[in-house]
Structure 1
Amino acid sequence: MDYKEKRKLILETREEREKLSVHSAINMFIRSRRLKNLTSNTTTSYSQALGKLYNFLNENDIGKVNEVILEDIQEFIQTRIDEGNSAPTINKYLRSLRAFFNFLHGAGYLIENPMDTIENLVEEKRILRTLNHKQVKLLLDMPNLSTPAGYRNYVFMLLILDTGLRMEEAITLSIDGIYWTERTLRVFGKGRKERLVPFSDILAVHMDEYLRLRTETDSSEFFVNINGQPLKRRTVQEEISDYGKKARIKGVRVSCHTLRYTFARNYVLNGGDVVSLMRIMGHKSLHMAQLYTEMFQTDISKQHDKFSPVSSIFN
């Protein structure tokens, strides 16, 4: 093949690639993500964001990926704002869109990437609501420990309070991932990244007891329902929320996220350092761990007032 024939073939191939429909491109991208063995939550997040983009483009008669320009993305962002989406939610969409268009650009389906100059929205500083010691005790008093389900929920909440695991990580914790002698748990966080998380002797006692009461099943998951099947996320969320209502806890939403933040707060107040907190909680960067220390700075100041040697002399 001579130079001119080769050049013509390349241009024809490029032209065909750029005629790819948005619908086909989205399906291709989602398939590629599944082949990377990403979690179902991650692929669902991609599907939701790209579904909203597809609807927006379809409403504006944009059917091919090479027709998408910078202004389309900017208008899409504005429609999300107009519909009341928060900055964190929109930024979550933008992460999915960025991955999508980077994929198309890298595969040669786009010459120009419309996401190149798109920046995330500025987010307001998050206020992390946590439970105080009294509220934690009230919450833990709610499950009926005489029933398998009640004791399971009690241990589930203790687990997050003791280790800071995400709800997904706690639900999918496997029996084989519990190293009793070393007092560590093998968990898989976001992106299936594996890490080891330490747990206390007190939690070990309750986990061991739950294992004795646990329904006989072939399931590898540590936590199961009364039928021996893995727990459903919605069930866990609803039951923990109900405990919060029964305990009449006010001013803070009772959820797995709240229990996780409560762990972080107590870890910091008890003298834990940012780097180890980051590793325990599975954060890829120091940003979130630093956010915890900033949010709980007031508590640290109170601790200082309470234990300051100088204050104790004059008091």
Structure 2
Amino acid sequence: MQLNYKEKRKLILEMREEKEELDMQSAISMFIKSRKLKNLTENTTASYTQTLNKFTAFLEENEIIKVNKVIVEDVQEFIQTRIEEGNSAPTVNKYIRNLRAFFSFLWSSGYLIENPMEAIDKLVEEKRILRTLSREQVLALLDVPDRATPVGYRNYVFMLLILDTGLRLEEALSFNIDDIHWKEQVVQVFGKGRKERLVPFSATLAVHLREYLELRGETDTSIFFVTIDGLPLKRRTVQEEISDYGQLAKIKRVRVSCHSLRFTFARNYIINGGDIVSLMSILGHKSLHMAQLYSEMFQADISKQHNRFSPVHSFFN
């Protein structure tokens, strides 16, 4: 039996009332489940959870339990508390991005009539300075690991990998042995948002990857880089060891990390004749903002390349 319009309308209102009773914890649970269905990385999901737990604690302090009771002023006050507690603009903007995703999900799913994030703008951030290592610093850094030991050679190859490909730390830690396509000289990785891409590597790096693989031996995991116990290499371990190498190499004015190695790859790619478009593809960037950032960072290097390859200059020389 078909319902008439009055009955349909009554059911819609009843459903809306039920939705309006949704509390923050239930809403967060639904949201996190929806993010996992999108196959996002564990780090991204953890970032959402951290933000939402902090926001929920703030709401509870102000006796706000239901999501439909959250107003734009609540979000503004939460942001202000984060600033007063010393959070930097990039950190606060991370909270804003995560809250925007959360409330957009609730609004598009019909749990909210109004989205409290619509009037919230990100904070203005200071322009980032992406510091890179000089050729001399890179050579000094690579000279530190004891390549006669399994750990030393593994770390040496790990640094070579990032310097040769520009992989993110998580990408370098998570690819499998079968993700290396030796004939094509590319490695298959999953970047931010679980987006797959193929990243080329040099013949020089290929030699070291094969040598490490032979040294690595058989383990219970297919992850390429492992500990001496055959377990997947951890983020913290790599970060601490590379930082220690930087200190032993007496590198000044640059914080030696996987990030700085990635930026060093990018700059040298441009210096050696690469272009911004292909660089962005290799690094896994889609944002025009990042293209602009790299262009500004490497402007002097790009200008030198233009002087070398200018069509007009070639016409008359």
1:18 touches 1:110 (CA, 8 Å); kept in 2?
Answer: yes
CA–CA distance in structure 2, aligned partners of residues 167 and 186 of structure 1: 14
Do the aligned partners of 1:224 and 1:230 also contact (CA within 8 Å) in 2? yes
Other structure's SS at 1:185 match: strand
Name the structure 1 match of 2:288: 286
Whole-angstrom distance in 2 between the partners of 1:168 and 1:209: 22
**Equivalent pair of 1:129/1:252 in contact (CA under 8 Å):** yes
The answer to whether the 8 Å contact 2:141/2:245 transfers is yes
Give, in whole Å, the separation in 2 of the partners of 1:305 and 1:237. 38
1:105-147: per-residue Cα shift (whole Å, max 9, x none)? 1111100010112121111110001111111011101111001
More off after superposition, 202-211 vs 77-86: 77-86
The two structures have a TM-score, normalised by structure 2, of 0.93
Question: Cα distance, 1:177 vs. partner?
Answer: 0.9
Equivalent of 2:248 in 228, 246, 249:
246
Counterpart among 46, 52, 59 of residue 57 in structure 1: 59
Query: For residue 30 of structure 1, what is the amino acid of its counterpart?
Result: I
1:220 aligned partner: 222
Q: Distance in 2 between matches of 1:178 and 1:231?
A: 17
Q: Is the 8 Å Cα contact of residues 173 and 221 (structure 1) preserved in structure 2? A: yes
Q: 1:150 aligns with which of 134, 149, 152?
A: 152
1:141 paired residue number: 143
Q: Where does structure 1 differ by over 4 angstroms across 4 or more consecutive aligned residues?
A: 299-308
Match of 1:313 in 2: none
Match in the other structure for 1:312: none
Give how far 1:307 is off: 11
Q: Secondary structure at the match of 1:46?
A: helix
Judge conservation of contact 2:273–2:305 (CA < 8 Å) in 1: no
Two-structure CA RMSD over aligned residues (Å): 1.7
Q: CA deviation at 1:15?
A: 1.0
Report the CA distance between 1:38 and its aligned residue.
1.3
Which residue matches 2:315?
none
Q: What residue number does 1:174 align with?
A: 176
Distance 1:53 1:71 in 2: 13
Secondary structure of 2:246's aligned partner: helix
Deviations 1:151-208 (A, max 9, x none): 0000000000000000000001211111111111111101110101110011011111
CA distance in 1 between counterparts of 2:4 and 2:307 reads 82
Equivalent position of 2:106 in the other structure: 104
Q: TM-score, normalised by structure 1?
A: 0.94
* C-alpha deviation, 1:304, in angstroms: 7.7
- Do 2:270 and 2:301's aligned partners in 1 also have CA atoms closer than 8 Å? no
Q: What does residue range 114-133 of structure 1 map to in structure 2 within 5 Å?
A: 114-133=116-135
Counterpart contact for 1:274–1:286, Cα < 8 Å: no
Q: Which amino acid aligns with 2:52?
A: L
- Residue in 2 aligned with 1:274? 276
